[in-house]
């Protein structure tokens, strides 16, 4: 169970706005997060990951407090180790596909399964600049999965994939999420792409 209650002030065109979210996510659930642009979806994921600080709030993951502004607890992202798929992929330009995965884990069997999952087996020595947008996005997903996270945060993770690749990958991811026992939060603008994958929704309004 992941219990979140946070308040974070956002800078918006008209000044400031408070992003206030209170929600519970069941262990192993896959939740779609949606809402208008600028609502704070990415910020919400980053607050959970510990990459952005909330002014006020509490995050408890499987009984462990990650954040409690009342008691001053704020666990570093390195201790939270959430899987995170960034909207801009955040791939390391100096690393090849294989080096990305080796940077995240030393488990070579797992790396080989991930490469097969993302259909990147033949591109292991390619750097991001030599990958297509879809391949880069798949690598970003594989890198986040490499650490076998208990909480996976995905920010528009399928936006650059063609419909066939997306459908196939989503089907396979469903199995992987179950296998590693991850609770997954997926930000998506597409109303249909996550059908059959998610079992919950969270709307963030402006």
Partner 1 sequence: MDLSPIWLTLKLAAITTLLLLLVGVPIAWWLSKGRSFFKTLIEAIITMPLVLPPSVLGFYLLLAFSPQHGLGKWLQDSFDVQFVFSFKGLVLASFIYSMPFMIGPIKSALQQLPASLTQASYTLGKSPWQTFKSVLLPNIKPSLLTAIVLTFAHTLGEFGVVLMIGGNIPNVTRVASIAVYDSVERMDYAAANNYSLILFAITFVMVISVFIFNKYQAKSPLE
Q: Which is nearer to partner 1, 94 or 205 (CB)?
A: 94
Closest-CA residue to 55 (of 40, 70, 45): 70
d(CA 31, CA 33): 6
Min. distance of Cβ 139 from partner 1 in angstroms? 11
We find the least distance from the C-beta atom of residue 167 to partner 1, in angstroms, to be 26
**Based on CB atoms, which residue is closest to partner 1, 20 or 105?**
105
Tell me the C-alpha distance between 176 and 160, whole Å.
Answer: 21
Cβ 186 vs Cβ 31: under 8 Å: yes
Least Cβ distance, residue 84 to partner 1 (angstroms):
4
Question: Cβ 79 to partner 1, closest distance in Å?
Answer: 8
The residue among 14 and 78 lying less far from partner 1, judged by its C-beta, is 78
Nearest Cα neighbor of 101 from 125, 77, 70 is: 125
- The distance of closest approach from Cβ of residue 29 to partner 1 in the complex, given in angstroms and rounded to an integer, is 20
**Nearer to partner 1 among residue 125 and residue 195 (C-beta):** 125
What are the residues binding partner 1 (CB under 8 A)?
Answer: 46, 49-51, 76-78, 80-84, 86, 88, 90-94, 103-104, 143-144, 146-147
- Residue 20 or 102: the one with the smaller Cβ distance to partner 1 is 102
Q: CB within 8 A of 26, min separation 6: which ones?
A: 1, 183, 200
User: How many CA atoms within 13 Å lie on the side-chain side of 38?
Assistant: 8
Return the number of the residue (76 or 206) whose C-beta is nearest partner 1: 76
Shortest CB 205 distance to partner 1, Å: 25
């Amino acid at each position: 169970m992941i219990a979140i209650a946070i308040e974070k002030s956002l800078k918006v065109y008209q000044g400031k706005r408070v992003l206030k979210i209170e929600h519970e996510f069941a262990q192993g659930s896959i939740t779609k997060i949606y809402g208008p642009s600028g609502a704070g979806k990415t910020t919400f994921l980053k607050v959970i990951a510990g990459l952005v600080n909330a002014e006020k709030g509490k995050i408890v993951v499987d009984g462990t407090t990650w954040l409690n502004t009342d008691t001053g607890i704020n666990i570093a992202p390195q201790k939270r180790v959430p899987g995170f798929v960034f909207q801009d992929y955040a791939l390391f330009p100096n690393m090849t596909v294989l080096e990305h995965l080796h940077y995240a884990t030393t488990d070579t069997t797992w790396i080989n399964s991930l490469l097969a999952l993302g259909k990147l087996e033949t591109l292991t020595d390619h750097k991001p600049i030599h990958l297509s947008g879809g391949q880069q996005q798949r690598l970003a997903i594989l890198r986040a999965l490499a650490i076998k996270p208990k909480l996976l945060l995905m920010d528009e993770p399928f936006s650059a994939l063609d419909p066939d690749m997306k459908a196939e990958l989503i089907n396979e991811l469903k199995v992987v999420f179950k296998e590693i026992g991850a609770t997954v939060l997926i930000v998506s603008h597409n109303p249909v792409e996550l059908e059959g994958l998610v079992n919950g929704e969270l709307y963030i309004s402006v």
